[in-house]
Structure 1
């Protein structure tokens, strides 16, 4: 939903049909899942509980929702069919928030929640509950029985977590605005018990981001304390190269069990990465760079570059290849750098802008040669191409740095020294 679009009241979504991009029905919306925050900050909307045609209820993250309009919900088409299980920090909007008795902050008057409204934040994929539709009861000079009104979330009390709570819910809410690297640093210094509690309370995408920033020992410890199906979900949410590195630290039996539980496409990417030596271009690369066909335009390329989930290094350039678009692709034709995209008209074909002189890396290129390549050509990412000319993935400078820094670099205080959190 674009910024500035009208709010949606959740009662209007109950029972709405959910479709994939091809127009095929996936199921119907049965509830929405939110995470309350400390104080009066609006809750973050995590996703929807969808009842699929087999009557199984599954969870669809809001990041997989591409449209909410006219009583219909459109998804990306990629959904996890595992049965939905509510976590301790999650609240069902229809099942737990509606019909609740809360109080108006200004008058301390008790009211009943009839509905809540959700809205997508501008220029982001995050959604929040920002309005509450309530009905007044008896009592009070200004109140009339049955009178209804819509107020800001912050205008009512009785929903949010208490500041003094000591559970993992409060801790997660306190850490919510931290960058993954900063939260990883905090988790690393918690006790194992507390670390496991916080990890269990984080949603899959957030935990995946944090795991990618943790030392290997912490990664293995946290993953080992999750239920196997949840561990597979988190591995799917991680970048394939990071998931491959983590799985390579596990015993063979555990590794295979988790790979079997992952979606076949995700597992195939991870298996492919694990087939390469760790300190080579193939072992370092991600299998999810931006790939475009030669008839794509500059406008198409910029739309892909703008995707929020991309790291700056992956967004710095696009790779032009013959079909298929997924790695391993058809013949690799060349790279188009982000700055070049900004200099040419939107209708220009990317095939006319190729930097085809830049040699790609072979998957068996050793780490020192990869480092020298990035330094020599002033690059933040480089294509990895096999003998047949297919693009396998891209090596980014952040993955190279992870292998060049000392093993204990995460133990230093560089994350907090000289950094203002104001």
Structure 2
């Protein structure tokens, strides 16, 4: 739903059909999943519980919802069909929040929750509950309908939903650190006890945990992954950047690798196996298999739309790679690169094939770390294509991956300890 679109009352979403981009129905909405926050902050809408034709209920993250309109939900088409399991920090809107008794802050009067409205935050991919539709008077029953004035109030105008300030549950800790960047939350996790770290990791959603794992030292990654159920561990690996997930898998025993790979989506597992086949500290071992790939007949407007994807890192969004079909790595013939700045200077209808930078030689998958670093330094690049002998694009290496492997192996632990010392000195 675009910024500025009207709010949606959740009662209107019950049973609504869910479609993929091709217009095929994949299921129906059965509930909404939210995360409550401390104080009066509105809850964040995490996703939808969707019931498939097989009666299985799955979780659809809001990041994979492209539109809610005309009584239907449109998705990106990427679905994880594993059965939905509610986590400690999650609340079901239909199952737990509606028909609940809460208190109006201004008058202290108890009211019954009839409905809630959600809206998408401007210029962000986050959704929140913002208003509550309530009825005054005593709660009704199956045999007697309650009477009383109905009104819509802001979320902050009622109490009885939000988390308690006291308590030691993982959800309170998560609510406290919700706004932290993944690297900062990783620092918090690193200094928790193993038991507490496992509790918080179990309560994080897959995408958030994946982002945090990528910022943790190897020992912490292995410890956390080992305490997750195998199906959940596979989901989290799928949510990680492919190169980071492959590095983590490579540190596990062979039998454990195979079990996790067998639980992953076939395409994701194939990418992992391909990355793990290359030597460490080579372009093939460092690359991600998910760069932006476009066909020669794509336009500048198409390229800019792909670059705007907020899930892309700045380095991956800095350029697009033009190849003959197929559009996913490994591709057909690699034709060249188009840099983001060039896209900004060209008319939107122009074809990307007309503005290619094909002067630079791409990286060979066997290129070693010094050669890769030299390439980045010489040409002031933040990402570089990796192409095999047949001319197919295999992936792209980004500057952050190069830095990760050029720094000392314990650099994350060192940074965490330095941050801790700075906090201690500031408080003294």
TM-score bin (small chain): over 0.9
SS in 2 for 1:412: helix
- Give the match for residue 5 of structure 1: 5
CA–CA distance in structure 2, aligned partners of residues 377 and 404 of structure 1: 18
Unaligned runs of 5+ in 2: 140-145, 424-428
- Give the match for residue 210 of structure 1: 212
CA–CA distance in structure 2, aligned partners of residues 353 and 415 of structure 1: 45
- Give the match for residue 129 of structure 2: 129
Which string of whole-angstrom CA distances, capped at 9 and with x for unpartnered residues, describes residues 276-314 of structure 1? 011100000000001111111111111111100000000
Question: Could you tell me which of 322, 325, 335 is aligned with 2:324?
Answer: 322
CA–CA distance in structure 1, aligned partners of residues 422 and 130 of structure 2: 35
Task: Give the alignment of 1:2-401 within 5 angstroms.
Answer: 2-137=2-137, 145-401=147-403
Q: Is the 2:217–2:413 Cα contact (8 Å) retained in structure 1?
A: no
Which string of whole-angstrom CA distances, capped at 9 and with x for unpartnered residues, describes residues 1-32 of structure 1? 10000101110000011111111111111001
Q: Is the 2:111–2:138 Cα contact (8 Å) retained in structure 1?
A: no
CA–CA distance in structure 1, aligned partners of residues 18 and 344 of structure 2: 37
Which string of whole-angstrom CA distances, capped at 9 and with x for unpartnered residues, describes residues 114-158 of structure 1? 00011111111111111111111169xxxx951111111111110
Q: Is the 2:118–2:127 Cα contact (8 Å) retained in structure 1?
A: yes
CA–CA distance in structure 2, aligned partners of residues 417 and 111 of structure 1: 49
Q: Is the 1:295–1:351 Cα contact (8 Å) retained in structure 2?
A: yes
Unaligned runs of 5+ in 1: none
SS in 2 for 1:103: strand
Q: Is the 1:182–1:415 Cα contact (8 Å) retained in structure 2?
A: no
Which string of whole-angstrom CA distances, capped at 9 and with x for unpartnered residues, describes residues 211-263 of structure 1? 00001100000000001111111011001111100000111111100000011
CA–CA distance in structure 1, aligned partners of residues 172 and 301 of structure 2: 43
CA–CA distance in structure 2, aligned partners of residues 46 and 234 of structure 1: 16
Aligned length: 416
SS in 1 for 2:29: strand
CA RMSD in angstroms comes to 1.6
CA–CA distance in structure 2, aligned partners of residues 348 and 165 of structure 1: 58
SS in 1 for 2:363: coil
CA–CA distance in structure 1, aligned partners of residues 15 and 283 of structure 2: 48
CA–CA distance in structure 2, aligned partners of residues 276 and 415 of structure 1: 34
Q: Is the 1:294–1:349 Cα contact (8 Å) retained in structure 2?
A: yes
SS in 2 for 1:95: helix
> Closer, same or farther in 2 for the Cα pair 1:163/1:11, shift >3 Å?
same
| Stretch deviating more after TM superposition (157-166 or 184-193) | 157-166
CA–CA distance in structure 1, aligned partners of residues 348 and 314 of structure 2: 21
CA–CA distance in structure 2, aligned partners of residues 242 and 49 of structure 1: 29
1:395, distance to aligned residue in structure 2 (A): 0.2
CA–CA distance in structure 2, aligned partners of residues 292 and 7 of structure 1: 35
1:175, distance to aligned residue in structure 2 (A): 0.9
> Closer, same or farther in 2 for the Cα pair 1:416/1:319, shift >3 Å?
farther
CA–CA distance in structure 2, aligned partners of residues 355 and 90 of structure 1: 47
CA–CA distance in structure 1, aligned partners of residues 215 and 302 of structure 2: 31
**TM (normalized to structure 2)?**
0.95
CA–CA distance in structure 2, aligned partners of residues 378 and 328 of structure 1: 25
